[in-house]
């Protein structure tokens, strides 16, 4: 007993001081000290527990270097999405097109004319960089962008109704979207009063007309909310946007995912309301996200009537939720692609993934399986749109499963790799869905899976 205790004590005394080990690390001082302290702490615990490798300190130095590298690695990393979920909220939603990425790089490189009119030298508006494009693509009189879709809805409610006025909403549209974002709470934050009409499953035009007669001038707006992440089926009824716009009150149409092309160009979008329809119907403000089906950066779009957009711009909340220059650059780059729908379908990654055909998917899956060998097997699997869009659509296509005794452990090793690969476990096997893997990522994916295996 005494001999063992003496040996442990000797090993503990042999550990270097923190400053000594830190001095051997090629890292900023604060990082080196933190890494050395952690490595020594780990070794101290190992010795106290009865074991520690007799490595002459080389193992301790290697561990300290490893910790220092971890501490200096960026937290926000690029990952390979092999889940088959296209607009994956946890993975940053829609990946950007090359044009949008290039626009971000240009805006980040130096100064920009964010709020400067180059013709006059006077102060300009950041909205000018996307307003003309949005009006061109949607037919709206005016447009602006804020920092996300939820902010767009909040600003619309505050600008058109606000304190002391009411917003009329169907009970079937009092929805909750991601992150606990609920329409009744948004209306409350705008200062307006919620006026519910209809029932959960059926709301008619007469319900809105009755509310307008009863509340009169107290009504600031009617709000229509698209059921983005679920559908109500069966004995249901709702009032279309065209009828709502005939009732006389300003209409806020929250269409959610921001589809700028229709089913004619991409059949998968047949159940998604396009911005253009709501603008043609006469909605005062149409709100949507920029990073879902639109395929751009995180942003919230407001398009519609000139006076309604002007009211939104004047509202004090507009400054608090304004869009930053890098997102604005990416948004402009994305919107430019929509001038030619074929170009948009080809170059905007989210749309290209939605439109990917069986031949493309099977080619990717076969390439992955061939490179991985006997562990891999070709299967058919369903992909999802994600991001609260098109919840009923399942996109069938070729995929790859891996036979492994511990699929959850394998998934964890893939997440810990460089680059991290995000896959999913399905029916006891690890599933790799090539729909969300770009062609240029295939070699990296294969290398990461091999390392994890």
Q: At 78, is the secondary structure helix, strand, or coil?
A: coil
d(CA 42, CA 402): 35
d(CA 340, CA 318): 31
Q: What secondary structure letter does DSSP report for 216?
A: G
Asked if residue 338 lies in contact with residue 344, where contact means CB atoms within 8 angstroms, the answer is yes
Asked if residue 208 lies in contact with residue 171, where contact means CB atoms within 8 angstroms, the answer is no
Peptide bond just before 99 cis, omega within 30 deg: no
pTM for this structure? 0.90
Alpha-carbon separation of residue 407 from 335, 425, 428 (angstroms): 41, 6, 7
- Find all residues with CB under 8 Å of 162, minimum gap 6, and list them: 190, 191, 192, 220
- Find all residues with CB under 8 Å of 361, minimum gap 6, and list them: 397, 398, 399, 434, 435
285-289 and 300-304: which strand pairing?
Answer: antiparallel
Indicate the domain borders of the chain. Answer: 2-70, 80-89+352-452, 97-347
Alpha-carbon separation of residue 350 from 123, 130, 303, 328, 388 (angstroms): 36, 20, 22, 19, 14
Among residues 41, 105, 107, 32, which one has the least CA distance to residue 71? Answer: 32
Asked if residue 301 lies in contact with residue 145, where contact means CB atoms within 8 angstroms, the answer is yes
What is the predicted pLDDT for the residue at 5?
Answer: 76
For 80-89+352-452, which CATH class? alpha beta
Among residues 444, 451, 407, 400, which one has the least CA distance to residue 428? Answer: 407
d(CA 68, CA 62): 10
What is the predicted pLDDT for the residue at 430?
Answer: 94
Ramachandran bin of 217, using left for φ above 0, alpha for ψ from -120 to 50, beta for the remaining angles = alpha
d(CA 260, CA 344): 10
Write out the DSSP string of 397-417. Answer: EEEEEE--S-HHHHHHHHHTS
Alpha-carbon separation of residue 137 from 132, 244, 275, 283, 335 (angstroms): 9, 23, 9, 16, 8
**Domain covering 97-347, topology:** 3.40.640
Reading the chain (453 residues) residue by residue, the pLDDT tens digits are 456 677 788 888 889 999 999 999 999 999 999 999 999 999 999 888 776 655 556 789 999 999 999 999 999 999 999 999 999 999 999 999 999 999 999 999 999 999 999 999 999 999 999 999 999 999 999 999 999 999 999 999 999 998 989 999 999 988 887 666 788 898 999 999 999 999 989 999 999 999 999 998 899 999 999 887 667 777 888 999 999 999 999 999 999 888 899 888 998 888 888 999 999 999 999 999 999 999 999 999 999 999 999 999 999 999 999 999 999 999 999 999 999 999 999 999 999 999 999 999 999 999 999 999 988 999 999 999 987 777 778 899 999 999 888 999 999 999 999 899 999 998 889 999 999 999 999 999 999 999 998
What is the predicted pLDDT for the residue at 8?
Answer: 81
What is the predicted pLDDT for the residue at 4?
Answer: 64
d(CA 101, CA 326): 10
Alpha-carbon separation of residue 393 from 176, 245, 270, 401, 445 (angstroms): 20, 29, 10, 22, 26
């Amino acid at each position: 007993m005494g001999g063992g205790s003496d040996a442990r004590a000797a090993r503990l005394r042999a550990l270097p001081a923190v400053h000594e080990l830190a001095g051997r690390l090629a890292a900023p001082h604060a990082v080196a000290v933190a890494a050395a302290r952690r490595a020594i702490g780990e070794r101290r615990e190992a010795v106290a527990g009865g074991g520690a490798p007799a490595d002459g300190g080389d193992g301790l130095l290697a561990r300290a270097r490893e910790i220092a590298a971890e501490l200096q690695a960026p937290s926000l990393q690029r990952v390979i999405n092999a889940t088959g979920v296209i607009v994956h909220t946890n993975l940053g939603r829609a990946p950007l097109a090359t044009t949008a990425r290039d626009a971000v790089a240009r805006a980040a490189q130096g100064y920009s004319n964010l709020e400067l009119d180059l013709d006059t030298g006077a102060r300009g508006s950041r909205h000018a960089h996307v307003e003309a494009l949005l009006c061109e693509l949607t037919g709206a009189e005016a447009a602006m962008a804020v920092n996300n879709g939820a902010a767009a809805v909040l600003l619309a409610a505050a600008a058109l109704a606000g304190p002391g006025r009411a917003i009329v909403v169907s009970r079937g549209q009092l929805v909750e979207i991601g992150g606990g974002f609920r329409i009744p709470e948004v209306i409350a934050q705008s200062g307006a009063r919620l006026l519910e009409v209809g029932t959960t499953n059926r709301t008619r035009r007469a319900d809105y007309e009755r509310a307008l007669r009863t509340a009169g001038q107290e009504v600031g707006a009617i709000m229509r909310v698209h059921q983005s992440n679920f559908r109500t089926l069966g004995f249901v009824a709702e009032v279309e946007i065209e009828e709502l716009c005939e009732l006389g009150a300003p209409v806020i149409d929250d269409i959610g995912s921001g589809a700028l092309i229709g089913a004619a160009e991409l059949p998968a979008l047949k159940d998604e309301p396009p911005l253009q329809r709501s603008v043609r119907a006469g909605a005062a403000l149409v709100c949507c996200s920029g990073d879902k089906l639109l395929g751009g950066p995180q942003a919230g779009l407001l398009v519609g009537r000139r006076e309604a957009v002007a009211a939104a711009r004047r509202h004090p909340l507009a400054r608090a939720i304004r869009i930053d220059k890098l997102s604005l650059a990416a948004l402009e780059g994305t919107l430019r692609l929509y001038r030619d729908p074929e170009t948009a379908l080809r170059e905007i990654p989210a749309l290209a993934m939605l439109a990917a055909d069986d031949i493309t998917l099977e080619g990717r899956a076969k390439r992955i399986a061939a490179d991985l060998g006997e562990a891999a097997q070709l299967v058919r699997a369903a992909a999802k749109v994600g991001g609260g869009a098109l919840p009923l659509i399942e996109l069938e296509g070729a995929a790859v499963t891996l036979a492994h005794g511990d699929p959850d452990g394998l998934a964890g090793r893939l997440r810990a790799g460089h680059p991290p690969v995000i896959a999913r476990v399905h029916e006891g096997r690890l599933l790799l869905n090539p729909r969300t893997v770009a062609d240029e990522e295939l070699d990296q994916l294969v290398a990461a899976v091999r390392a994890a295996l």
